[in-house]
Amino acid sequence: MATTEELVRATDPLDMSLSTEELDAHREHITDFIAAQYEAAGADRVVIGLSGGIDSTLTSHLVVEALGAETVHALVMPSEVNRESNMSDAERVASELLDVEYDVVEITPIADAFLDAYPAADEDRMATGNLYVRIRAVLNYLVANTEGGLVVGTGNRTEALVGYFTKYGDGAVDCHPIANLYKQQVRQLARHVGVPDDLAAKEASAGMWVDQTDEGELGMSYDTLDSILALHVDGPLSVSATADQVGVDAETVERVRGLYEGSEHKRAAPPGPEPLY
């Protein structure tokens, strides 16, 4: 007969903690990957957008570890809906944590030019938010083209599996070094490599509209989402077994599965018809 404590633990989100040895292994694997991508591309620089969020903070930290601070050109690209504190954190990461070259490029006037050209999108916060994200991609590639740079992305496994990114926006990059890590593991690895705790623990936001948070939009915590992905989408558990294990209803698991299946197009190259001959 299970004790109450065991039953409560059984309905907790999955504990995905990595051991110190596993964190070291990920660190080495990712820095080796970055070095290999850079060499294979024959690049002279790495371009990365810094948002003050943990994905870009960890990724840029690992790029510096792999290639040195002088290789990195960071871009901090505030829009009018970004929190001031996130933009100052982004500058803190560039100047204090990493000591890399960086530029601050205001994107609101660029977005306004698009919305003047196509005013119908002005009231649509998703379309406008995706526009901000795609403008950042254009600027990343402008710098990369100019300096022989490789654009390094910050997508993690959780975002990729549910399509929680803008197609040809933050998804438009040359590689994603932390693509194997679920969101909880991103925070763990960040702490492990010495990222300050206030940055590692910060609430995730795509920064596409005022006060947007990932967990608010997704309607569940990252701990729950990671657990459902690991057990059901990546793992072999059924909907009901996953729901029991994580302590959510079956509809929540099905919703995550729906996000995964509905975002297949974001993880694939744009298709064309089969060759006729």
Ligand X SMILES: Nc1ncnc2c1ncn2[C@@H]1O[C@H](COP(=O)(O)OP(=O)(O)OP(=O)(O)O)[C@@H](O)[C@H]1O
Ligand Y SMILES: Nc1ncnc2c1ncn2[C@@H]1O[C@H](COP(=O)(O)OP(=O)(O)OC[C@H]2O[C@@H]([n+]3cccc(C(=O)O)c3)[C@H](O)[C@@H]2O)[C@@H](O)[C@H]1O
Cα dihedral 85, 86, 87, 91, rounded to 10, equals 100
- Which positions from 213 through 242 interact with ligand Y, judged by CB under 6 A? 214, 217
Selection from 102, 106, 128 nearest residue 116 by Cα: 128
- Which positions from 133 through 162 interact with ligand X, judged by CB under 6 A? 136, 154
Closest approach, Cβ 226 to Mg ion, in A, equals 17
- Which positions from 75 through 94 interact with ligand Y, judged by CB under 6 A? none
Q: Which is nearer to ligand Y, 29 or 265 (CB)?
A: 265
Contact status: 177 vs ligand X (CB under 6 A): no
Q: Please give the Cα distance from 235 to 207 (Å, whole number).
A: 31
Q: Please give the Cα distance from 203 to 42 (Å, whole number).
A: 36
Q: Which is nearer to ligand X, 186 or 233 (CB)?
A: 186
Phi, psi of 103 (to 5 degrees): -120, 150
Tell me the site size for ligand X, rule CB under 6 A.
Answer: 20
Q: Please give the Cα distance from 144 to 5 (Å, whole number).
A: 54
Q: How many C-beta atoms surround the C-beta of residue 264 within 10 A? A: 9
Query: Of 49, 53, 149, 163, which lies in the binding site for Mg ion, with binding defined by CB under 5 A?
Result: 53
- Which positions from 136 through 175 interact with ligand Y, judged by CB under 6 A? 159, 163-167, 169-170
- Which positions from 251 through 270 interact with ligand Y, judged by CB under 6 A? 265
- Which positions from 192 through 211 interact with ligand Y, judged by CB under 6 A? 206, 208
Question: For the residues of 89-109, what is the DSSP string, one character each?
Answer: HHHHIIIIII--EEEE---HH
In the annotated binding site for ATP, the residues are 49-56, 154, 183, 205
Contact status: 50 vs ligand X (CB under 6 A): yes
Site string for ligand X, 214-243 (x = CB under 6 A): x-----------------------------
Q: Please give the Cα distance from 176 to 63 (Å, whole number).
A: 11
- The phi-psi region of residue 148 (left if phi > 0; otherwise alpha if psi is between -120 and 50; otherwise beta) is left
Closest approach, Cβ 100 to ligand Y, in A, equals 21
Contact status: 130 vs ligand Y (CB under 6 A): yes
In the annotated binding site for deamido-NAD(+), the residues are 134, 167, 174, 265-266
Q: What sign does the CA torsion over 119, 120, 123, 127 have?
A: negative
**For residue 51, what are the contacts with CB-CB under 8 A and spacing of at least 6?**
76, 82, 86, 90, 207
Q: Which is nearer to ligand Y, 108 or 212 (CB)?
A: 212
Contact status: 76 vs ligand X (CB under 6 A): yes
Contact status: 49 vs Mg ion (CB under 5 A): no
Contact status: 204 vs ligand X (CB under 6 A): yes
Residue 34 and residue 67 in contact, taking contact as beta carbons nearer than 8 Å: yes
Binding positions for ligand X, rule: CB under 6 A: 49-51, 53-56, 75-78, 82, 136, 154, 170, 204-207, 214
